[in-house]
Amino acid sequence: MDPMDAGMRYTPKSSDRDWDQAVTFLPATDSAKLEKKKGPGRVGAILGVVVFACVLALITGLLVWHFHFRKDQKTLKMYNGYMHITSQEFQAAYENPNSTEFQTLAKQVVTQLRDIYSKTPALSKYYVDSTVQAFSQGSVVAYYLSEFHVPASQEAAVDSAISSLENLKYQRSLQSGSLMFDRVVASAVDPRMLRKRSKFSANTQPNRPILVESPDFPNFPYPSNTLVQWQLKTEPGNVIQLDFQTFYLENECKNDFVKVYDSLAAIESRIMAEKCGYYSPNDPLGFISSGNIMLVTLVTNEEGNYPGFRAMATQVARGSQGMSCGGTLKGNSGTFTSPNYPKYYPPNTRCEWTIEVRQLLFNAVSAFMMSVGQPGLCQNDYVQVNEEKLCGSVSANKLVTSSSNEMKVVFYSDGSLVDRGFNATFSSFEPTNPCPDKFLCNNKRCVSHDLRCDGWNDCGDSSDEKGCKCDSSMISCRNGMCKPMFWKCDGIDDCGDRTDEMNCASCKAGELACGNGKCILEKQKCDGRDDCGDKSDEVDCGPKTVCTASNYKCKNGECITKQNPECDGEKDCTDGSDEDCGDCGLKAFKFSRVVGGQDAVVGEWPWQVSLHIKNSIHVCGASIISEHWLVTAAHCVQDDAKVRLSQPGSWEAYLGLHDQKQLEVAQKRYLKRVIPHPNYNEYTFDNDIALMELEQPVTFTDTIRPICLPSASYDFPAGTTVWITGWGATREGGSGAKVLQKAQVRIINSTVCDSLMDGQITSRMTCAGVLSGGVDACQGDSGGPLSSSNGERMFLAGVVSWGDGCARRNKPGIYSTVPKFRAWIKEMTGV
């Protein structure tokens, strides 16, 4: 029963928070008592003012302290270093941090360091303590970590005092305490490596290969917020070769990275490389130390955990095969490389080759890749050929000649930051006959006579394509070049002087000039057969009722003989269905890795999609065809050893993305369905197309729009200019692009392409590229669009599928021919 109803008065208790406002209280009977109670209130007010004044004073004091003295608040600074002790012989017990020998020597090193720091006021004031992390041979090298508490304003002074300790190396030997040492090198610890929780792995044993794997590899992604270090040691006289078999980290090195040091401690002046992202087996990642020690570190942050890495560390005798370099090279020709090529060369290396021939032409055929930050200065790592120093990334066509029969080549790497090195060939020549049995290019290269006047720029300066006498299978350009006949009258200026586009309509009376220069009888026009060979005789034929496979079929069943009538701005079907195109293939704005491409403009390719493995990196491209559906390549959605790529749950799609580092700008969608083409052949890449249904429809914006799907009869004839776009590798074996890349290529005649690709082209494949090389789709572009404009809208001509490498001469990119799959797409998606 409710007590109010029972006539009882209710007195609220302090614990009753939700008491009813309608409740009445008993009236006060003694008002004097109530007046009296106001007395303590006045005292309270005075007390309140005093307390308030105190609090105000405290806050003011704190603020003054905060702003005035805060800059001198001390922060913890760590320095990693090594000390070269000359007065001790290395003992096996130094390998074991628990041994008495280790601890005794470590104590001496710490005393020594305190002594060194005490002599430098900039250091002594802030020094806290040091710990010894390891010892290695030579006589004994001690690796230590020193801790300083430094006011913010003094950090630079402490850094410089620490680096000036290195000057001790110029004194023959210092005696202080009981140790003699001749070198102290230290540098500030990378702050990213301080933030993390540390884990140290056990030291490896010399003399047998060691597996170095990220934690939980290959079963789970590596853990968050982890620092793992592997100290690798081998016997003196050997070096350590570290080869990564798998390397798959987050793309952003500031989050997750692997650092490899030519040292046992993370001393930044001994760093060989910092790596993140993905390295494919075609782009092998491998390092070699200069001595018998190496440190591998993995640092991860809290977001984006990736599969990680597996590497094998092996002991290699210094100077063994593949690692040795220099010497005298004799003979008429030969090749030589930097040590460990094409993997990374060791630090602290100098190699000198003397090439002796009767007369010499030095011909560096592969790129020189050096680690120097500033190409041009060639101060850190370089190749010196006679007097010329080369560094940075040097063209594969770089050629240096000597004017005597001797040439000296020196390769030099300093103590940090290594790169892939170089591959070079040399060949000798008679000064009077520089290219025996070969063609001498203007740039002094020698190329085979077979390559002369073949339509391709083999010399690199086009001199092999000038002054040509063309045979009947080639177009004779007025400028002296020869071009393949199938490029005649294709509307594109292949000669460069338009010769191939002249006299295209010189047919007899009663004949019709085809687009490709061929003449056919007038009556063959619009007969439903491709008499020209380029279908130009079946264009502009008006409505027709008898349909062939090459006719566009209107919604009302009418057939149009005009080639590609859809969405061209002209109504060809009587029911107008050929112009029933919705919003597809239109860009919101007017626009004035792909290998050989350039950065796209935001919104330029609004149908381009980046497919990521869930919580992982970009792996494939795709194209938006409707609010619900994407088109990609079937080979992108085949299960692999680690990820079930055929499952929609393995993916996330980024729409409207421009920069892979700004995923937050894009619309992210998960997938409901993945439908690979049922006839996809994983050996031949035939039918390499797949559909993806989005879990949630996408909202079209200025940067997210669909591309038009060409009808089954749509033709993209050879010579048509088309665009490739993607975040794939920007060179064969290279890494992916950060910003979306675009490049222009042309459709290549299928017969020509089939012979270039050794008969591997099916009717469901379209070839496109630049046959002289240099422009192409590449790894990571797969699944993305081959976009073609009809002047009004963009059409999905193809899906990036495969190729023989990337951007190689005479090796076009191969795309799945979208018109061939139009009916299947309609059947599966309704689009």
As annotated, the active-site residues are: 635, 688, 782
At its nearest, how many Å lie between ligand 4AZ and the CB of residue 97? 47
At its nearest, how many Å lie between ligand 4AZ and the CB of residue 813? 4
**Amino acid, res. 584:** C
- Is residue 422 within 8 Å of residue 411, measured between CB atoms? yes
Burial profile 683-712: b = 16 or more Cβ within 10 angstroms, e = fewer: eebbbbbbbbbbeeebebeebbbbbbbbbb
Looking at the Cβ atoms of 386 and 638, the one nearer to ligand 4AZ is: 638
Looking at the Cβ atoms of 268 and 781, the one nearer to ligand 4AZ is: 781
CB atoms within 10 A of CB 141: 23
Closest C-alpha among 590, 265, 571, 272 to residue 421: 272
CA distance 278 to 296: 17
At its nearest, how many Å lie between ligand 4AZ and the CB of residue 717? 21
CA distance 537 to 120: 90
At its nearest, how many Å lie between ligand 4AZ and the CB of residue 715? 22
CA distance 218 to 150: 42
Burial profile 451-469: b = 16 or more Cβ within 10 angstroms, e = fewer: bbbbbbbbbbebbbbeebe
- Is residue 364 within 8 Å of residue 399, measured between CB atoms? yes
Looking at the Cβ atoms of 369 and 765, the one nearer to ligand 4AZ is: 765
Looking at the Cβ atoms of 785 and 813, the one nearer to ligand 4AZ is: 813
Looking at the Cβ atoms of 299 and 770, the one nearer to ligand 4AZ is: 770
Looking at the Cβ atoms of 87 and 638, the one nearer to ligand 4AZ is: 638
Looking at the Cβ atoms of 435 and 752, the one nearer to ligand 4AZ is: 752
Q: Please name every residue paired with 794 in a beta bridge, in sequence order, or none if there are none.
A: 789
CA distances to 33, 268, 290, 648, 747 from 799, in Å: 92, 45, 47, 20, 13
Looking at the Cβ atoms of 95 and 754, the one nearer to ligand 4AZ is: 754
CB atoms within 10 A of CB 512: 18
At its nearest, how many Å lie between ligand 4AZ and the CB of residue 280? 9
CA distance 125 to 127: 6
- For residue 502, the SS3 value is coil
CA distance 395 to 39: 94
Q: Please name every residue paired with 673 in a beta bridge, in sequence order, or none if there are none.
A: 693
At its nearest, how many Å lie between ligand 4AZ and the CB of residue 802? 6
At its nearest, how many Å lie between ligand 4AZ and the CB of residue 646? 17
* Nearest position to ligand 4AZ, beta carbon: 803
Q: Please name every residue paired with 213 in a beta bridge, in sequence order, or none if there are none.
A: 310
At its nearest, how many Å lie between ligand 4AZ and the CB of residue 704? 24
State the SS3 of 710-756: CCCCCCCCCCCEEEEEECCECCCCCCECCECEEEEEEEECHHHHHHH
CA distance 201 to 311: 15
Residues lying near ligand 4AZ in the complex (CB under 6 A): 776-779, 781-782, 800, 802-803, 806, 813
